[in-house]
Structure 1
């Protein structure tokens, strides 16, 4: 199975954040050709797009095999998604819970749209595997991050495109502490250091203050999840990151 996968190509939904960087490492370990896909949809934290090429290049530098496998990067401009989304990810508004129990950072249909375009691109590029950082263990309740949603999307995409895509969600059943640990298993302390220093997760796009887990406002849900997960990861006896001390 591992040998067969090594001959296959994969497309990774790569935003420039912690989760997608870990997913990229996951793909680079498993697939012979790995391409990446990002989306510019009017997100408030568009600084993540600036981190993508930095992360890609640095991750390729961690391992000659990864460098050989890492292929083309794609960036799709999709402003219409932001135009129809009145959310705290696409508008200047406070992050808060809404009446239905979801945070106002939920962009309706975002992952459904992303996966559809990813499959269309994978179809054209001859890539069978699609890798995304969706997770329903440590998440904000987003319905399009649930395992049932991803399974349903795989069925719909395969039927609608007459293909046999495989959607991989390596973070689906692990929390943020385990995501940090997975990064360490995949790329050692060097990958953990790289994710701390170069990735971006903060919903508000804040990169002014360097913290032990990276850059961010420290208050938004994404920052809190990342910080709490990093604290549990460090407390578990994981290898101490060389870049952990604030600069």
Structure 2
């Protein structure tokens, strides 16, 4: 296992892209994993490819796992995406995908072990977020323990570290960090329910948090919103 290698979950949204830029600034070898899990649209995955190329990541893998087979979320089932919610962050919304980050981090862990990478990076955030249980510090600490108990590398003492560099940042803080790292936010895509390619709906939780972040950071927002 190498302390000079990291792998990052790259969805194509602004948070994961900022986390990838953060990793790229710290380690000489950074691989990215994007997962086509049956989400409502492919625009984020297209964005992930653009971001990986822009950041000149060492490797970018895209794999398919069909969480739509289970459904249970507005992102993987025929359920309406909530729009213009008043209290984002209160309660767990229908856009929560059951056990998604547990599944995706397990895949990232397998990727890390095969590449000899010690560091696992994701863009989880607990301040400006939609209330997901798998974006919280206790979950990430528990997963790091699982990583070191359930792998050959972990049992042999190499050890994995789970990094969530955006965990305690506001959305404005994430925007500022991304700009400092030279991230091209126009390459990212965050919307849960886009009306067409390249357009954000402007009303789902992800769009509202994205727009709020740029406004509070007082930095240019390159996003095209429908409303």
- TM bucket normalised to smaller: 0.7 to 0.9
Distance 1:155 1:165, change over 3 A: same
Q: Which residue of 2 aligns with 1:67?
A: none
Answer yes or no: is 1:219 the counterpart of 2:203. Answer: yes
Answer yes or no: is 1:121 the counterpart of 2:108. Answer: no
Partners of 1:17 and 1:109 lie apart in 2 by 19
Q: Which residue of 1 aligns with 2:53?
A: 57
Alpha-carbon offset, residue 93 of structure 1: 2.3
Distance 1:179 1:107, change over 3 A: same
Partners of 1:44 and 1:245 lie apart in 2 by 19
Question: How many corresponding residue pairs?
Answer: 213
1:1-247 paired onto structure 2 within 5 Å: 8-60=4-56, 70-79=57-66, 81-96=67-82, 101-162=91-152, 163=154, 164-187=159-182, 191=183, 194-195=184-185, 197-207=186-196, 215-234=199-218, 238=219, 240=220
Distance 1:56 1:207, change over 3 A: farther
Partners of 2:223 and 2:39 lie apart in 1 by 28
Report the secondary structure of 2:58's partner residue.
strand
Structure number with greater CO (CA < 8 Å, separation at least 6) is 2
Unaligned residue ranges in structure 2 (runs of 5+)? none
Structure 1 runs of 4+ with >2 Å offset: 205-209, 243-246
Partners of 2:71 and 2:148 lie apart in 1 by 28
Partners of 2:195 and 2:104 lie apart in 1 by 24
Report the secondary structure of 1:37's partner residue.
strand
Verify the 8 A CA contact 1:95 1:103 in the aligned structure 2: no
Report the secondary structure of 2:71's partner residue.
coil
Alpha-carbon offset, residue 59 of structure 1: 2.8
Partners of 1:102 and 1:123 lie apart in 2 by 32
Moved more, 29-38 or 100-109: 100-109
Q: TM-score, normalised by structure 1?
A: 0.80
For the aligned residue pairs, the C-alpha RMSD in angstroms reads 2.2
Verify the 8 A CA contact 1:14 1:21 in the aligned structure 2: yes
Q: TM-score, normalised by structure 2?
A: 0.87
Verify the 8 A CA contact 1:89 1:203 in the aligned structure 2: yes
